[in-house]
Amino acid sequence: MCRLLGYLGAPIQLEKILYKPEHSLVVQSYQPRQMETALMNADGFGVGWYHQHQETNPFRYRNTTPIWSDINLPSLSRYVESGCLLGYVRSATPGLSVDMSNCQPFTSEGSSLSHRLLFTHNGYIDNFRKTLYRPIRNSLNDEIYQSIQGTTDSEHIFALILDELQTSPHITLEKALANALTSLSELANSYQAYFCATMIVSDGKQLLACRYASRSPAPTLYWLRDDSTYPNAVIVASEPLFDGNWNSCPEQSIISIGEDFEVHTHQLSQRSSF
Protein backbone atom coordinates (compact mmCIF):
# COMPACT_ATOMS: atom_id res chain seq x y z
CA MET A 1 0.00 0.00 0.00
CA CYS A 2 1.00 3.63 -0.54
CA ARG A 3 -0.10 7.02 0.74
CA LEU A 4 -1.66 9.64 -1.53
CA LEU A 5 -2.19 13.40 -1.38
CA GLY A 6 -4.12 15.77 -3.62
CA TYR A 7 -4.57 19.54 -3.34
CA LEU A 8 -6.75 21.92 -5.36
CA GLY A 9 -7.13 25.51 -4.30
CA ALA A 10 -5.37 28.81 -3.83
CA PRO A 11 -1.69 28.57 -4.85
CA ILE A 12 0.60 27.57 -1.98
CA GLN A 13 4.21 26.57 -1.53
CA LEU A 14 4.60 22.82 -1.79
CA GLU A 15 6.36 22.90 1.58
CA LYS A 16 3.16 24.01 3.29
CA ILE A 17 1.32 20.82 2.32
CA LEU A 18 4.21 18.33 2.11
CA TYR A 19 6.12 19.17 5.31
CA LYS A 20 4.18 21.51 7.61
CA PRO A 21 1.20 19.34 8.70
CA GLU A 22 1.82 17.29 11.84
CA HIS A 23 0.91 14.08 9.99
CA SER A 24 2.26 15.14 6.62
CA LEU A 25 2.97 12.89 3.67
CA VAL A 26 6.59 12.79 4.82
CA VAL A 27 5.54 11.54 8.27
CA GLN A 28 3.17 9.03 6.68
CA SER A 29 6.11 7.58 4.77
CA TYR A 30 7.67 6.24 7.98
CA GLN A 31 4.77 6.32 10.47
CA PRO A 32 1.45 5.67 8.71
CA ARG A 33 -1.56 5.13 10.92
CA GLN A 34 -4.03 3.37 8.62
CA MET A 35 -2.02 0.93 6.51
CA GLU A 36 -2.90 -2.75 6.78
CA THR A 37 -0.36 -4.49 4.53
CA ALA A 38 2.94 -2.67 5.22
CA LEU A 39 4.75 -0.79 7.97
CA MET A 40 6.14 2.13 5.97
CA ASN A 41 6.41 3.69 2.52
CA ALA A 42 10.12 3.70 1.76
CA ASP A 43 10.19 2.57 -1.89
CA GLY A 44 10.25 5.98 -3.52
CA PHE A 45 8.02 9.01 -3.83
CA GLY A 46 6.78 11.58 -6.30
CA VAL A 47 5.24 15.02 -6.44
CA GLY A 48 3.44 16.44 -9.48
CA TRP A 49 2.11 19.96 -9.90
CA TYR A 50 0.68 22.42 -12.41
CA HIS A 51 1.92 25.94 -13.06
CA GLN A 52 -0.98 28.25 -12.30
CA HIS A 53 -0.28 30.70 -15.15
CA GLN A 54 0.77 28.41 -18.00
CA GLU A 55 -1.06 25.86 -20.14
CA THR A 56 1.80 23.37 -19.97
CA ASN A 57 2.19 19.75 -19.09
CA PRO A 58 2.46 19.13 -15.36
CA PHE A 59 5.84 19.09 -13.67
CA ARG A 60 7.11 16.14 -11.65
CA TYR A 61 9.84 15.44 -9.13
CA ARG A 62 10.37 11.75 -8.33
CA ASN A 63 12.94 9.55 -6.68
CA THR A 64 13.35 5.90 -5.75
CA THR A 65 14.72 6.79 -2.30
CA PRO A 66 12.51 7.34 0.77
CA ILE A 67 11.04 10.83 0.78
CA TRP A 68 12.58 11.59 4.18
CA SER A 69 16.10 11.07 2.81
CA ASP A 70 15.84 13.22 -0.30
CA ILE A 71 18.06 16.29 0.15
CA ASN A 72 16.63 18.33 -2.74
CA LEU A 73 12.88 18.16 -2.08
CA PRO A 74 12.89 20.51 0.96
CA SER A 75 14.50 23.32 -1.06
CA LEU A 76 12.36 22.64 -4.10
CA SER A 77 9.18 22.65 -2.05
CA ARG A 78 10.02 26.11 -0.65
CA TYR A 79 10.52 27.47 -4.16
CA VAL A 80 7.58 25.96 -6.08
CA GLU A 81 4.03 27.26 -5.71
CA SER A 82 0.97 25.61 -7.21
CA GLY A 83 -2.79 25.53 -6.92
CA CYS A 84 -3.00 21.89 -7.95
CA LEU A 85 -0.66 19.12 -6.89
CA LEU A 86 -0.51 15.39 -6.28
CA GLY A 87 1.88 13.62 -3.92
CA TYR A 88 2.70 10.00 -3.30
CA VAL A 89 4.93 7.79 -1.15
CA ARG A 90 5.36 4.18 -2.20
CA SER A 91 5.30 0.81 -0.55
CA ALA A 92 6.09 -1.41 -3.53
CA THR A 93 3.94 -4.44 -4.23
CA PRO A 94 6.12 -7.56 -3.89
CA GLY A 95 7.55 -8.52 -7.25
CA LEU A 96 7.34 -5.03 -8.76
CA SER A 97 10.68 -3.28 -9.12
CA VAL A 98 11.71 -0.04 -7.45
CA ASP A 99 12.87 2.12 -10.34
CA MET A 100 12.02 5.48 -11.90
CA SER A 101 9.66 4.06 -14.51
CA ASN A 102 7.47 2.79 -11.67
CA CYS A 103 7.50 6.04 -9.68
CA GLN A 104 4.23 7.93 -9.52
CA PRO A 105 2.61 10.29 -10.32
CA PHE A 106 2.15 9.06 -13.87
CA THR A 107 1.28 11.49 -16.66
CA SER A 108 -0.46 11.34 -20.04
CA GLU A 109 2.54 12.84 -21.85
CA GLY A 110 3.30 9.63 -23.74
CA SER A 111 -0.02 9.81 -25.61
CA SER A 112 -1.55 12.19 -28.15
CA LEU A 113 -4.36 13.10 -25.77
CA SER A 114 -4.97 16.78 -25.13
CA HIS A 115 -5.64 16.00 -21.45
CA ARG A 116 -2.66 16.98 -19.27
CA LEU A 117 -3.17 14.42 -16.53
CA LEU A 118 -1.47 13.48 -13.29
CA PHE A 119 -2.42 10.17 -11.68
CA THR A 120 -1.66 8.34 -8.44
CA HIS A 121 -2.89 4.98 -7.17
CA ASN A 122 -2.90 3.27 -3.80
CA GLY A 123 -3.74 -0.41 -3.98
CA TYR A 124 -2.87 -3.43 -6.06
CA ILE A 125 -4.11 -6.16 -8.36
CA ASP A 126 -3.52 -9.47 -6.66
CA ASN A 127 -0.90 -11.58 -8.48
CA PHE A 128 -0.94 -9.00 -11.26
CA ARG A 129 1.54 -10.58 -13.66
CA LYS A 130 -0.37 -13.88 -13.66
CA THR A 131 -3.89 -12.49 -13.71
CA LEU A 132 -4.75 -9.14 -15.31
CA TYR A 133 -1.45 -8.04 -16.87
CA ARG A 134 -2.16 -9.53 -20.29
CA PRO A 135 -5.96 -8.99 -20.28
CA ILE A 136 -5.54 -5.27 -19.55
CA ARG A 137 -2.88 -4.83 -22.21
CA ASN A 138 -4.99 -6.73 -24.75
CA SER A 139 -7.88 -4.32 -24.14
CA LEU A 140 -5.85 -1.19 -24.96
CA ASN A 141 -5.48 0.53 -28.29
CA ASP A 142 -1.97 0.50 -29.71
CA GLU A 143 -0.97 4.04 -28.78
CA ILE A 144 -1.94 3.70 -25.12
CA TYR A 145 -0.34 0.25 -25.01
CA GLN A 146 2.92 1.72 -26.31
CA SER A 147 2.82 4.60 -23.82
CA ILE A 148 3.21 2.28 -20.81
CA GLN A 149 6.80 2.61 -19.58
CA GLY A 150 6.84 0.66 -16.33
CA THR A 151 5.61 -2.65 -14.96
CA THR A 152 3.19 -1.67 -12.21
CA ASP A 153 -0.46 -2.54 -11.95
CA SER A 154 -0.97 1.16 -11.16
CA GLU A 155 0.22 2.37 -14.56
CA HIS A 156 -1.90 -0.24 -16.29
CA ILE A 157 -5.00 0.99 -14.44
CA PHE A 158 -4.12 4.52 -15.55
CA ALA A 159 -3.83 3.20 -19.11
CA LEU A 160 -7.46 2.04 -18.90
CA ILE A 161 -8.48 5.65 -18.14
CA LEU A 162 -6.37 7.01 -21.01
CA ASP A 163 -7.85 4.41 -23.35
CA GLU A 164 -11.36 5.55 -22.44
CA LEU A 165 -10.44 9.17 -23.18
CA GLN A 166 -8.91 8.30 -26.52
CA THR A 167 -11.76 6.00 -27.58
CA SER A 168 -14.40 8.59 -26.61
CA PRO A 169 -12.71 12.03 -26.79
CA HIS A 170 -15.81 13.96 -25.72
CA ILE A 171 -16.53 12.18 -22.44
CA THR A 172 -15.66 13.80 -19.14
CA LEU A 173 -12.69 12.75 -17.07
CA GLU A 174 -15.08 11.51 -14.38
CA LYS A 175 -16.90 9.33 -16.90
CA ALA A 176 -13.58 7.95 -18.17
CA LEU A 177 -12.59 7.07 -14.60
CA ALA A 178 -15.94 5.38 -13.96
CA ASN A 179 -15.75 3.42 -17.22
CA ALA A 180 -12.18 2.31 -16.44
CA LEU A 181 -13.31 1.02 -13.05
CA THR A 182 -16.14 -0.88 -14.71
CA SER A 183 -13.72 -2.47 -17.20
CA LEU A 184 -11.29 -3.34 -14.43
CA SER A 185 -14.07 -4.90 -12.36
CA GLU A 186 -15.29 -6.99 -15.26
CA LEU A 187 -11.79 -8.26 -16.02
CA ALA A 188 -11.15 -8.99 -12.35
CA ASN A 189 -14.41 -10.86 -12.09
CA SER A 190 -13.60 -12.95 -15.18
CA TYR A 191 -10.18 -13.93 -13.85
CA GLN A 192 -11.15 -14.13 -10.17
CA ALA A 193 -8.51 -11.51 -9.31
CA TYR A 194 -8.88 -9.27 -6.28
CA PHE A 195 -7.99 -5.60 -6.75
CA CYS A 196 -8.22 -2.38 -4.78
CA ALA A 197 -7.98 1.03 -6.36
CA THR A 198 -7.93 4.20 -4.33
CA MET A 199 -6.83 6.82 -6.84
CA ILE A 200 -6.46 10.54 -7.50
CA VAL A 201 -6.33 12.04 -11.01
CA SER A 202 -6.24 15.66 -12.14
CA ASP A 203 -6.00 17.79 -15.27
CA GLY A 204 -4.93 20.87 -13.31
CA LYS A 205 -8.41 22.35 -13.13
CA GLN A 206 -10.31 19.60 -11.38
CA LEU A 207 -9.46 16.86 -8.93
CA LEU A 208 -11.09 13.43 -9.05
CA ALA A 209 -10.58 10.66 -6.54
CA CYS A 210 -12.09 7.25 -6.02
CA ARG A 211 -12.18 4.68 -3.27
CA TYR A 212 -12.95 1.34 -4.85
CA ALA A 213 -12.20 -2.36 -4.43
CA SER A 214 -13.57 -5.66 -5.64
CA ARG A 215 -14.38 -6.46 -2.03
CA SER A 216 -14.46 -4.46 1.18
CA PRO A 217 -12.55 -2.81 2.70
CA ALA A 218 -11.05 -0.46 0.14
CA PRO A 219 -7.95 1.55 1.11
CA THR A 220 -8.79 4.67 3.10
CA LEU A 221 -9.35 8.11 1.60
CA TYR A 222 -10.42 11.42 3.19
CA TRP A 223 -11.19 14.94 2.05
CA LEU A 224 -11.29 18.33 3.74
CA ARG A 225 -12.57 21.66 2.40
CA ASP A 226 -11.83 25.24 3.49
CA ASP A 227 -9.83 24.50 6.61
CA SER A 228 -8.70 27.67 8.37
CA THR A 229 -5.07 26.87 7.51
CA TYR A 230 -5.94 26.08 3.87
CA PRO A 231 -8.84 28.38 2.92
CA ASN A 232 -10.34 28.22 -0.56
CA ALA A 233 -8.99 24.72 -1.07
CA VAL A 234 -9.80 21.02 -0.93
CA ILE A 235 -7.32 18.42 0.29
CA VAL A 236 -7.67 14.71 -0.45
CA ALA A 237 -5.44 12.27 1.42
CA SER A 238 -5.05 8.64 2.40
CA GLU A 239 -4.88 9.75 6.04
CA PRO A 240 -5.83 13.05 7.70
CA LEU A 241 -2.83 15.39 7.73
CA PHE A 242 -3.89 17.19 10.91
CA ASP A 243 -6.86 17.53 13.25
CA GLY A 244 -9.81 18.95 11.36
CA ASN A 245 -13.21 18.30 9.85
CA TRP A 246 -12.10 15.44 7.60
CA ASN A 247 -14.70 13.44 5.70
CA SER A 248 -14.21 9.76 4.92
CA CYS A 249 -14.89 8.98 1.28
CA PRO A 250 -17.49 6.23 0.95
CA GLU A 251 -16.36 2.93 -0.51
CA GLN A 252 -17.25 2.30 -4.16
CA SER A 253 -17.46 6.01 -4.91
CA ILE A 254 -15.91 8.83 -6.91
CA ILE A 255 -15.52 12.30 -5.50
CA SER A 256 -15.12 15.24 -7.88
CA ILE A 257 -13.83 18.72 -7.09
CA GLY A 258 -14.14 21.46 -9.71
CA GLU A 259 -12.83 24.98 -10.00
CA ASP A 260 -15.52 26.17 -7.56
CA PHE A 261 -14.07 23.72 -4.98
CA GLU A 262 -17.47 22.10 -4.46
CA VAL A 263 -17.14 18.42 -3.56
CA HIS A 264 -19.55 15.98 -5.18
CA THR A 265 -19.80 12.28 -4.34
CA HIS A 266 -21.04 9.71 -6.85
CA GLN A 267 -21.72 6.16 -5.77
CA LEU A 268 -20.67 3.38 -8.16
CA SER A 269 -22.23 -0.03 -8.50
CA GLN A 270 -20.33 -3.09 -7.33
CA ARG A 271 -19.49 -5.20 -10.39
CA SER A 272 -17.51 -7.98 -8.75
CA SER A 273 -19.19 -11.03 -7.32
CA PHE A 274 -16.27 -12.88 -5.72
Query: Sheet of 81-89: strands edge to edge?
Result: 59-63, 45-49, 81-89, 3-13, 230-237, 222-227, 247-248
Separation between Cα atoms, residue 273 and residue 186, nearest integer Å = 10
Q: To 10 degrees, what angle do helices 153-167 and 173-191 make?
A: 130
Query: Measured between alpha carbons, how far is 238 from 217 in angstroms, rounded to an integer?
Result: 14
Query: What is the C-alpha radius of gyration for the chain, rounded to an integer number of angstroms?
Result: 17
Is 2 in the active site? yes
CA 7 to chain centroid:
12
* C-beta neighbour count of 211 within 10 angstroms: 26
Query: Which element (helix H / strand E) includes 212?
Result: strand 207-213
Enumerate the active-site residues: 2
